[in-house]
Structure 1
Amino acid sequence: MHESREHLQTLTEIRSLMERSSKFLSLSGLSGVSAGLIALGGAVAVYMRMRMGLFTAVHDYQPDLYTDADHSSIKQFLVTVAVVVLILALLSGTYFTVRKARRQGQSVWNTSSQRLVWAMLVPLATGGVFCLALLQYNLIWLAFPVTLIFYGLALLNGSKYTLRDVESLAYCEIALGLLSLFWPGYNLLTWSLGFGVLHIVYGLAMYYKYERTTA
């Protein structure tokens, strides 16, 4: 009986080592919370700008009613907000992830994290180029659901290299993006739910599940 317990413990340790070597487990739940809050801030900025003249209301946008100068101003503003939100989310996510990795005595940039980044980079880059094309052709309303869909695909592709809980978030993002395609009057709302609320809920869940007991 004692030997069987030792064997079981040994197998558990081996499994844990194999999992750590093949998956990046240092993602912090607080990264998701911070990214969600930043995304909500960006959504508020877009809403306020749209309400202040470029659009009569977010859900009343009709491309044919605006001049080329209006379209150019809208696109520049949306791209600027997107870049700022992305940079701030990456910086905050990096900070919390590095902090968690150091507490665990692990390296952040290793084989598993490189695989994770590469797995997510291809769908994200493809989606980014696709969104730029949509803006080029003034299909602004489509850019909101497309970002959700491609981000969800990136999470789904990267979930095999990190916590499996990321897979659930991926499905939610994809579903919300597809719903937004058929709910064009509220694309900013669904975008806020996907990148804002879902990130906050997911981040808090991951924090209480994996980090709070070890903090």
Structure 2
Amino acid sequence: AISSDHVYLLLGILIYIGNYREKRVRDHWDTYKPGKMRPSHPIAHFISYNTYQEIYRAFRPYDPRSEAMKAASLRYWIPGTNIAVDECIQHFEGRTREKVVIPTKPTPEGFKIWAVAEAGYFLSWLPHLPGKVFDAVGDKKPRTRKRKRADEYSLNPTQTVVVDLVKQLPNAIYHVFLDNLFSSPDLFRVLRVLNAGATGTCRVNSGIFKGLVQLKKADTDGKLGWLWGQIETVPTADNKVD
């Protein structure tokens, strides 16, 4: 059975491991061998690696405050039609795998958070979980296929965030505003199924209408010739949006 002493011992080991990093957790229990120089960590004198694993498996960090705050956000604010999805960073300088460092951001170091908001008010949010095994929202990454079916939509992990955030809102008709980090034709199709329109800037490699890509190239080359403030529209291929 796990006692309170085991819990305090586990917390102390986790703090120690966070301050004295090794390539693998089990390396903290490795001892000196001839021809293999390694530091000797004192935690090995208090608990074996196998016992540490058995205790660690019995615990799962869970903080209900985030879910309570999200519920309160929607309890005190009824979302309107126009909403926005974007990323933000909560400043943090400690040690954790969840921390990101983006020098070009106003807050270059901390926890990245995906948020859906209206008029600057956060309606809901999701933590960004960087890594190769998990996607942007912590789900296992699906196996990728080279080709997709005609009725299948292909979303990358970042675009999936938009869908997950919209699903957290009360059932209603929304119009989502995005930047070019998210925008793609497939994402807009999925949002349409959820009764949500979308407006956003996009990148030329996002799969948009080829005519728009050519217009962007002409604009970059200074050959577009449009008047200031001129707006052009292009209907979708299925003529459902004009």
* Structure number with bigger Rg: 2
Report which structure shows greater RCO (CA 8 Å, sep ≥6): 1
The normalised TM-score by structure 1 is 0.24
* TM-score, normalising length: structure 2: 0.22
* Greater per-residue strand proportion: 2
